[in-house]
Structure formats: structure tokens, C-alpha cells
Amino acid sequence: MTTVAAKPAAVAAKPATMAQALGRALHDAMAEDPAVHVMGEDVGTLGGVFRVTDGLAREFGDDRCTDTPLAEAGILGTAVGMAMYGLRPVVEMQFDAFAYPAFEQLVSHVARMRNRTKGRMPLPLTVRVPYGGGIGGVEHHSDSSEAYYMATPGIHVVTPATVADAYGLLRESIASDDPVVFLEPKRLYWSKADWNPEHPLAVEPIGRAVVRRPGRSATLITYGPSVPVCLEAAEAARAEGWDLEVVDLRSLVPFDDETVCASVRRTGRAVVVHESGGFGGPGGEIAARVTERCFHHLEAPVLRVTGFDIPYPPPMLERHHLPGVDRVLDAVARLQWEAES
Amino acid sequence: MKSRSLTVMDQRGAYRPAPPPAWQPRTDPAPLLPDAEPYRVLGTEAARKAEPGLLRRLYAELVRGRRYNAQATALTKQGRLAVYPSSTGQEACQVAAALALEDRDWLFPSYRDTLAAIARGLDPVQALSLLRGDWHTGYDPREHRIAPLCTPLATQLPHAVGLAHAARLKGDDVVALAMVGDGGTSEGDFHEALNFAAVWQAPVVFLVQNNGFAISVPLAKQTAAPSLAHKAVGYGMPGRLVDGNDAVALHEVLTDAVRHARAGGGPTLVEAVTYRIDAHTNADDATRYRHDEEVEAWRRHDPIALVERELTERGLLDEDAVREARENAEAMAADLRARMNQEPRLDPMDLFAHVYAEPTSQLHEQAAQLRAELAAEAPDIPDIADTPDTAGTTPDIADTTLKGTGR
């Protein structure tokens, strides 16, 4: 489906944050469909620790935007039951690492219910998870947990990198009849863009990557919090004579082989960039898929720029862990350019 | 609840300022406490008040249930079931749970509770799909209001709470009854489900079948609580301790708890003290961890014999009635045997058809791979559906019956 503006109005675009766009998406989904229920820790009176749900309890009542007991398995488990009865729950996990207690419910029930019942009882629910680092969070507040979710068949894994996508992808996720783990890049919550909330952009269905920046020299394949890093790296690379293409995956599951491979076949070189650790991380799967499908177009091995394979570091050291512009450019430099000359 | 005119701070459950010394117990625990002894009816004076119709119904269902357990166990020996966790000895719990519910209510069974699902009206062949292994859930949960048989312990309990909560939000007077074993009460999901249910005052009845063992581990290694029913008090809900082999007592307690929940009184935890006469499953060897004398002692407290004695003493059971119950049970067993001896129809393409509403491009590729492998073995394998997973549409929230397959 495509999202539709709630009501047309002559409101000019003005700067909005990703957090505001997410909140607006929740608001519009709740206004449009009485089955949509928001639930989680501190989502009601407080409006969420990131203020994404600000105002929802006031407008829709605390039965539609519910402060739950502090228990993530219970939150997701009860959301499963609500979805079984025909509601469309949107669960907020307060932080990436606090979502782990809900992992059994996600893996053993959320991801399997459609399959287990041969399609008779799908579970339309969305699990919003703030993820990633770069905000100076102390231990357990900065994990990149997407590889765990990607390894679980039956759920979609979606992550926005722009204000407009935050709105559009969240609307699409809530409207989906499949469960979605919606990963929100924490450090982009306060990123701003000119955005007209009265005319939210229609977006393509979940599962389509987008070329954020066209280029001819090499493809940077990335998502979520690393998209701005790659765009910045692409600008910096112009000085080196490289014209880099940046592909924003937007959806890790389903994975858009078509867009990614079309880009790599054009450029002949690829670097995958993400915060998550490299070993067993999304980049390994992506590099393998690209290599299997584009081998004869490749001028160099597909490289990965990732976080180190370490527990997430304390905030005063996290800048050494997070893939930055320099590390991306170093990888680009290793794409065997000498073969061309 | 409509609260548009209220501020956030006025909402139900919102913070209320209180002066520092104002602490007092928020709920009087005394009415929540279970009885000191398991509640019993059969063999007591109170049994005389039991309706003859109910006694006859319970008797017929228990006899049928015992035969079902024997037949299912036999099917494992014939290779027709991958595994069977028997509820022999626990038939009163299974039958009473099913009979306590109205048609619109929901049952949340664990893997040992196929008999409860059958007593509720489910076709035994469909109930046994999981244990036969031809699919995971062999029935439509919404059609029967029976959640999928749940294998990960206690994880179905929060589902029951959420479903009951959703029904109440919609204004439907639906109750959910969730079944769990004594081992399952140690799981975190048991705790979280009871807590959520009590906070939300959700119309849920939790039935713990305390059958003495979690596979091999006895209750003494599972908990230090006075009884499992006592756990209810910590959550602010009533706990009831019942003789789990007394079908009449169980039926009364569960029916009361369901009525209480339906009337808006909130959840109840019921501990049924019973015994797992058979091993954990056909693959288990119970002689490694318990004595035969204990099993024999429990056999003398048999749920069928308890009802039979009451019926006989009141002159309500003649030879014809006994024969009829046995013949019905045999007919069920023969039908089950005959149908389970037929090879199930399997479609390997189902593996890919129900993962998502629409298969991903990757699943299409993998389905094509499997189809090619199968084509080498035999032709005429149908394609994975290119159309959406049509069986799996979401019911409209306005659809109060939830019997249909969707919008």
C-alpha cells in the first residue's frame, strides 16, 4: 500500500526531526485505524524516553497508548495475544539491549505464527527498537542488534535513514500484515530535514532499497545510522577522484538484491558499511550475495567497514569503534584501483 | 476509555502524589489466599449436590480421554506419531478446562493439552498435527478459539493475557483460559503474564496442572513456595488450590473463575494437584527418577474412578451407560487409528508459502531450487503461490465473532 496524507492543507515544509516524523506516523496510523495500539515502557505520560510517542496518550487515551509493566517479554507476549484478536499493536522497546528479554517471544512466536498456522493467523505487529551508538550512551544503550533479527525467518527488518523514510517506512510497517522489527537509528532521532507533515511522502512497499547518491566509481551499501556517514564519505571522495554511489537498504529483510546488484554491476566495486560487528554481521551476508550474483562485474573483492568484534565500548571510546568517513575512504582506496591504470 | 477531555496526569493508573508516611498494603492479601488443602467435592457430602447431567458428561469425557491417551501412545509405537506427551491421570484437568469455557472463549494449551482441545470439540487428527509432524498447528486457531499448542514453556501465557485484554478493550465478554505445568511456573513468562493480567485486570484464568514432575525434576526442586496457588497473591489475584483428579471440584472452581473474569473481576490462578501417570513422553523413562509405589498410590486416586463411584453410589450409572461410554471411546479410537494410518498429504511448497504474506524474492529462488530437486524425483509439483498468502488475512476489528478467515 501507499500512505496517504491524513488531510491536505497548505502547510509549507519546515524542518522536522526524525523523532517527530516517527511520532507523526504513529499518530496518523492510530487516527486511521482503531486497531492500532501503542504499548511499551514510558510511552504514555512521558511520551517515551526519546519523546517519539509524545502526545499520543493524551489524544487517544491510555488504552490506545499504554504504559506497560516493565517487562519486555511480557510486552511483546501480550502484543502477540492482542494481534491474535485482531488488533495491530506497535510495541516500543526502550533500547536495543533492553529488547533481548523479548527475544524468545520474537523468535518462537512472532516470527512463526503465520507459518505455524499455514497462514491462518498472521501477526500484524510492529516492534520499534532504537538501535546503534554515537549518542554517548553507557553500557547496554548502543547495541546494533540487527544481525540477530535478520537471522530469524518470518519477520521483516526495516530501518530508516531519513526523516521522510522514518514516516513512510513506519506507516508501511504498521500497515503490513507481517511482523516488522523497526530499527530506529538513535543518533538520527534529532536529525532534521525539511518535511511537510501534512503531505507525507508516499513510499514504496517495504523491501526496496534506494540509491541515495548516484555515482560511477564504486557502491557503498549501507543502512540506518551509517547512511549519513557514507554520504559524507562520498562527498569527501570527490577530492580523490572517486564518484561513489550510496545505496540505502532501508530494509534488511526482505533484502533488495535487485537494486543492490544493479548498482554494483554498474560500478564494479562495493563496500558494505555498518556499525554492527563484522563477524557474523549483515555485511558478510551482503558481500556473499553480491559476490554470488555480480562476480563477473567485480573489479575487486567486496569489502566491509564495520564496528569491531567487541562488546559495545564505553562512550568515551566509542568513536574508535564506529565506522567513520576515514575508515570508509580507506576501504574505498583498497578496491584495487591500480588495476585500472 | 475515552480520555480526550482529560490531561495525561488524569489518566487511569497515572501517578498520584501521596505524603511520605501514607504507605499501607494496597490489597488485603487474605481473600486472595488459597485453601490450606486442595479443594475436593467427590467423596464429600458436597458431591451429592452435583448435577447428574454434569457427572454423566464428565464421566463420558474422562473415559473417552483415557482411551484417547492410550490410542495416541500406541500410535507412537507404530511410528504414526513422532512423540506423544500423555495426559493419562490428568484427564480431569483436561476435560474440566474445556467444559468451563463458553464457545466464544479461548483456550491456550501447552503441548500436553491436546485432550483439552479435543474435549472442546477439535478433531483429534487436527489436534495431533504437531505431534504427528505433518505441520505445526493442524487447525485454524480462530475457528476453534484454541491457540496453537505451545511448546516453549509458559510463553503462551502472555498471549492469553493480551488476547483477553484486547477482547475487553473491544467490549467483548471473552475469557481466556491458559494451561501450564508445574515446571512452567518457574519460567519468567509465567511471572510476566500473571503480573500483566493482574495490572490490566484481564479476564484470564491460569490453570497450573501440577503433575509432580518437570520431565524428571520433582516440584521440590522447582519451587519453595507454600503452594503454586500461593504465587497468585504476590500479583494481587486470587489463588485456588484444587484436587486435580476431582473433575467436579475442578469444574466448579474453573467455572467460578471464568464467571469472575467475565464479570470484570480479573484473573485467577488455579493450581490443580494431579499426577502424570505416564512418563514425560513415550521417549522418556520415568523409572530413572521415581518409584512405582508412588505411581500406584496415585492410580488409586484415579479421576475416572472418583466420578464413577459417585455415579454408582447415587444409582446414576447402570451397565448400559458404562457400555455406551466405552463404546463411544472405542469408536473415537478406531476412527483416530484409521485416519492416522493414512499417509498425510504433504506439499513441500508449503514450506515457502506461509513465511510472509508474500514470499520474498529469496524464498522464490529457494522454492525454485526445491521444486527442481523434486522434479528430478517426480513431476507435477505445483508452484509456490505467486499470489499473497490468502488464508492469512487479518480479521477486521469490527468482526466480533472472529470466526471468519478475514476481511
Cα A173 from Cα A157, distance rounded (Å): 9
At the top level of CATH, which class does the domain B30-340 belong to? alpha beta
The pTM assigned to this predicted structure is 0.93
Cα A247 from Cα B313, distance rounded (Å): 81
pLDDT of residue A12: 72
Contact (CB<8Å) A255/B163 = no
CB A198, CB A5: distance < 8 Å? yes
B17: which residues sit within 8 A by CB, 6+ positions away?
none
pLDDT surpassing 80 at residue B52: yes
User: ipTM score of the complex?
Assistant: 0.94
pLDDT of residue B405: 32
Q: Which domains are assigned to chain A? A: 14-195 (3.40.50.970), 210-340 (3.40.50.920)
pLDDT surpassing 90 at residue A337: yes
Contact (CB<8Å) A58/B162 = no
- pLDDT tens digit string along B3-24? 445 555 666 666 676 677 666 6
pLDDT of residue A81: 98
- CA A196 vs CA A7, A14, A163, A167, A193: distances in Å: 12, 6, 10, 11, 9
Interface probe, candidates A30, A32, A85, A126, chain B, greatest B C-beta count within 10 A: A85
Q: Is A62 on the interface with B (CB under 8 A)?
A: yes
pLDDT surpassing 80 at residue B383: no
Contact (CB<8Å) A154/B356 = yes
When pLDDT is averaged across residues A203-209 and rounded to a whole number, the result is: 84
Contact (CB<8Å) B11/A61 = yes
Contact (CB<8Å) B356/A254 = yes
A264: which residues sit within 8 A by CB, 6+ positions away?
A219, A221, A270, A290, A294, A297, A298, A302
* Alpha-carbon gap: A42 to the closest alpha carbon of chain B (Å): 11
When pLDDT is averaged across residues B334-339 and rounded to a whole number, the result is: 98
Q: How confident is the model at residue B407 (pLDDT cuts 50, 70, 90)?
A: very low
Sole residue written with cell 492479601? B29
pLDDT surpassing 60 at residue B396: no
| b/e burial code for range B108-142 (CB count within 10 A of at least 16 → b) | bbbbbbbbbbbbbebbbbbbbbbbbebbbbbbbbb
Which sequence positions of A are flagged as catalytic?
Answer: 141
Better-predicted residue by pLDDT, A203 or A269: A269
Q: In chain B, what residues touch A58 (CB-CB under 8 Å)? A: 3, 7-8
Chain A, 134 to 173: residues with Cβ < 8 Å from chain B are 153-154, 156
CB A175, CB B357: distance < 8 Å? no
Q: Is A27 on the interface with B (CB under 8 A)?
A: no
Interface probe, candidates B159, B393, B397, chain A, greatest A C-beta count within 10 A: B159
DSSP A62: T
Contact (CB<8Å) A84/B158 = no
Percent of chain B that is helix, strand, coil (3-state, to 5) = 45, 10, 45
When pLDDT is averaged across residues A303-320 and rounded to a whole number, the result is: 97
Contact (CB<8Å) B397/A34 = yes
Q: Is A230 on the interface with B (CB under 8 A)?
A: no
Nearest CA in chain A to B190: A74
pLDDT of residue A8: 45
- pLDDT tens digit string along B165-180? 999 999 999 999 999 9
pLDDT of residue A316: 97
A262: which residues sit within 8 A by CB, 6+ positions away?
none
Which sequence positions of B are flagged as catalytic?
Answer: 276, 280, 289
Domain residue spans of chain B: 30-340, 347-393
Nearest CA in chain B to A111: B355
| b/e burial code for range B283-295 (CB count within 10 A of at least 16 → b) | ebebeeeeeeeeb
Q: Is A260 on the interface with B (CB under 8 A)?
A: no
Q: How many beta-carbon pairs under 8 angstroms link A with B?
A: 199
CB A48, CB A95: distance < 8 Å? no
3 state DSSP class of B251: helix
Chain A, 69 to 98: residues with Cβ < 8 Å from chain B are 69, 71, 73-74, 76-89
Q: How confident is the model at residue A9 (pLDDT cuts 50, 70, 90)?
A: very low
Q: What percent of chain A has pLDDT over 70?
A: 94
pLDDT of residue B399: 36
- pLDDT tens digit string along B226-263? 999 999 999 999 999 999 999 999 999 999 999 999 99
Q: In chain B, what residues touch A207 (CB-CB under 8 Å)? A: 360
pLDDT of residue A340: 61
Which is nearest to B251 in space by CA: B213, B207, B311? Answer: B207
Q: In chain B, what residues touch A61 (CB-CB under 8 Å)? A: 1-4, 11
When pLDDT is averaged across residues A306-326 and rounded to a whole number, the result is: 97
3 state DSSP class of A305: strand
Least confident of A238-247, B26-35, B43-52, B361-370: B26-35
Sole residue written with cell 487511569? B12
Sole residue written with cell 473491544? B170
Contact (CB<8Å) A87/B397 = yes
Q: In chain A, what residues touch B155 (CB-CB under 8 Å)? A: 77, 104-105, 108-109
pLDDT of residue A295: 98
- pLDDT tens digit string along A92-129? 999 999 999 999 999 999 999 999 999 999 999 999 99
- pLDDT tens digit string along B100-138? 999 999 999 999 999 999 999 999 999 999 999 999 999
Q: In chain A, what residues touch B143 (CB-CB under 8 Å)? A: 120
pLDDT of residue B394: 41
pLDDT surpassing 90 at residue B37: yes
- CA B281 vs CA B68, B77, B278, B334: distances in Å: 15, 12, 7, 22
Contact (CB<8Å) B162/A84 = yes
Q: What percent of chain B has pLDDT over 90?
A: 86
Contact (CB<8Å) A120/B362 = no
pLDDT surpassing 50 at residue A215: yes
